[in-house]
Amino acid sequence: MIYKQTKISELKYINGEFMFKKNAFKCKNTKLLLSAFTLLSITLIASCSGGGDTEFTVIKGAEIGAFNQAQANMGKKIFSEKCASCHKYDIKLVGPPLGTVVKRRSTDYILSQILHPDKMIANNDTTKALLAKFLTQMPNQHLNMIEAKAVLMHLTDVSNGGGK
Ligand code: HEC
C-alpha cells in the first residue's frame, strides 16, 4: 500500500515537473517573441510619426554653415527692412520675438517659415498654433534662399549676444 502510494506520487511528480517545464519553455518563447514584436513596433512608430524631427517643413536638410559676420550683417539689414515691423528680438509684437528663435526651432523650420509661410500655416502644427495665438498670418516677404539664410545667420548672431 505504501509502495503503491509512493509510486503514484512519484509518477505525478515527474509528470507535473515535465508539464511545468514544457509550459514554462513555451511561455518564455511567446513572451520573447511578443517583446521583440513590441520593440519593433515602437521603433517603427517612433521613426514614422510624431517627434519634432519629423514635423512638416518645406525646406529639408538645409545647413547654414559656420558663422559668417558679413552674411549676418546682410541679414540684419534685411531683418530691419522686412521683418522688424512685426518682430522684435525680446518682446512680442505682431509676431513672436525672434531673439532666441534659433534655439527653439530647427534650421529647416525657420527657413521654411521665412520662404513659405503660407505652406507652413497649412501644414505645420507649430505654425498653426502660433496663428491661433497671434491671430495674424505672417505674409510672404519674397526673400530668396540666400537672403533667408542671411537673416538666419543674423538671428544666430543675436541669440549669441551680438548683432542687435
Ligand atoms: C506682417 C507681420 C509679419 C512680418 C512682416 C513678418 N512676420 Fe514672421 N510672423 C508673423 C506672425 C503673426 C507669426 C506667427 C503666425 C504665423 O506663423 O503665421 C510669425 C512667425 C514667424 C516665425 C516663427 C516663430 C516661432 O516662434 O516659431 C519666424 C521664424 C518668423 N516669423 C520670421 C520672420 C522673418 C525672418 C521675417 C522677415 C523676413 C518675418 N517673419 C516677417 C508676422 C510677421
Supply 48's cell numbers: 514614422
Q: pTM (2 decimals)?
A: 0.75
Tens-digit pLDDT string for the chain (164 aa): 455 444 444 445 555 454 444 444 454 555 655 555 555 554 444 444 444 457 999 999 999 999 999 999 999 999 999 999 999 999 999 999 999 999 999 999 999 999 999 999 999 999 999 999 999 999 999 999 999 999 999 999 999 999 88
- Report the amino acid identity of residue 1: M
Three-class SS string for 6-68? Answer: HHHHHHHHHHHHHHHHHHHHHHHHHHHHHHHHHHHHHHHHHHHCCCHHHCCCCCCCCCCCCCC
What confidence score (pLDDT) does residue 54 get?
A: 74
Burial class, 137, CB count within 10 angstroms (exposed 0-12 / middle 13-18 / buried 19+): middle
What confidence score (pLDDT) does residue 13 get?
A: 52
Ligand 1 centroid distance, CA of 131 (Å): 10
Topology adopted by domain 69-159 = Cytochrome Bc1 Complex; Chain D, domain 2 (1.10.760)
134 ligand 1 Cβ < 6 A: yes
Phi and psi dihedrals of 131, rounded to 5?
Answer: -60, -40
What's the sign of the alpha-carbon dihedral 55, 57, 60, 65? negative
**d(Cα 79, Cα 138) in Å, to the nearest integer?**
14
Q: Which of 118, 123, 120, 126 is nearest to 52 (CA)?
A: 126
In the chain, where the domains are located: 2-49, 69-159
**d(Cα 154, Cα 10) in Å, to the nearest integer?**
84
84 ligand 1 Cβ < 6 A: no
95 Cβ contact partners less than 8 Å away, ≥ 6 residues apart: 86, 87, 130, 134, 136, 138
Ligand 1 centroid distance, CA of 46 (Å): 30
Q: Which of 86, 146, 160 is nearest to 115 (CA)?
A: 146
For atom 2 of ligand 1, the residue with the nearest CA is 86
**Which atom of ligand 1 is nearest the CA belonging to 82?**
37
153 ligand 1 Cβ < 6 A: no
